Structure 1
Amino acid sequence: MSLIDKIAWLHLQEGRVLSTRSRGKDRYYLPGGKREAGETDTQTLLREIWEELTIALDPASLQLRGVFTAPAHGHAPDVLVQMTLYAATHTGQLQPAAEIEEIIWLTYRHRPQVSAVDQLIFDWLHQNGELAE
């Protein structure tokens, strides 16, 4: 069993969640990415969000929302992804950059279009009344 360590940004607005799709991918993913050697959660998240969406997260506003584990999409069955999820305020205009081809706002009805770990997060947000039908 191997584990992919990812840090992601949760951005909710009017019952919808910000999601992204990378070039060549068929699923949507919450924005974020893998930790580089020696990086903290905060460093990883700030770097990844800047690279993918060209916005700056406010480090002082980071709020841990949860840690979720599920099979990694597009990998062997014994590969899991562990997603550490943070909310934070930001400055700047959202726009796709690097490998990101599309930025989209999703609701719970889009659940089948996201990765397995994001499906867990969608379920949790929906049960908490934070993600609209």
Structure 2
Amino acid sequence: MNPIIDKIAWLHLHDGQVLSTRSHGKDRYYFPGGKREAGETDAETLLREIEEELTVALDPASLQYVGTFEAPAHGHPAGVLVRMTCYYARYTGTLQPAAEIAEVLWLTYRHRAQVSAVDQLIFDWLQEQGMLAE
């Protein structure tokens, strides 16, 4: 069985664009979110990670499960997979990079080659749903 990195991600779309981030020292963009800490639920993980990374508060009552996607993990040995469980949610505050995040930006489907493999699967899904602009 392949090792799996368990991540929770926030999908936030606006005008056919999806919110993405780039961490310091990384060359790919990733959806905001992160790894679960011991004993955390999906919601606890997502609320903590988004506040740490983007300085905004997600509304727990607005969390809506989108889907779970798996792909090879970027920057890890062959055979390591990332399982990304994605949610929509409303937020309050002003989006700004914090912690390990160097950049916050809005992407469209034309940026697909610049994101990780699992994010590419999500880009494809969003495109199929008519939610992501070219």
- Measured against the shorter chain, the TM-score band is over 0.9
Deviation at residue 45 of structure 1 after TM alignment:
0.1
Who is 2:29 aligned against?
Answer: 28
1:65 pairs with 2:85: no
Q: Please give the alpha-carbon distance, in whole angstroms, between the structure 1 residues aligned to 2:110 and 2:78.
A: 26
Who is 1:9 aligned against?
Answer: 10
Q: Please give the alpha-carbon distance, in whole angstroms, between the structure 1 residues aligned to 2:53 and 2:72.
A: 23
SS of the residue 2:9 aligns to: strand
TM-score, normalised to structure 1's length?
Answer: 1.00
Superposed CA offset, 1:32-61 (max 9, x none)? 000000000000000000000000000000
> What stretches of structure 1 move > 2 A for 4+ residues in a row?
none
Deviation at residue 77 of structure 1 after TM alignment:
1.1
Q: Kindly, what percent of the aligned residue pairs are identical?
A: 75
Who is 1:54 aligned against?
Answer: 55
* Number of residue pairs aligned between Structure 1 and Structure 2: 133
Who is 1:90 aligned against?
Answer: 91
1:14 counterpart letter in structure 2: D
TM-score, normalised to structure 2's length?
Answer: 0.99
Superposed CA offset, 1:60-97 (max 9, x none)? 00000000000000001110000000000000000000
CA RMSD of aligned residues (A): 0.3
Who is 2:110 aligned against?
Answer: 109
SS of the residue 1:81 aligns to: strand
Q: Please give the alpha-carbon distance, in whole angstroms, between the structure 2 residues aligned to 1:77 and 1:121.
A: 21
Q: Please give the alpha-carbon distance, in whole angstroms, between the structure 2 residues aligned to 1:128 and 1:89.
A: 20
SS of the residue 2:49 aligns to: helix
**Unmatched 5+ residue regions in structure 2?**
none
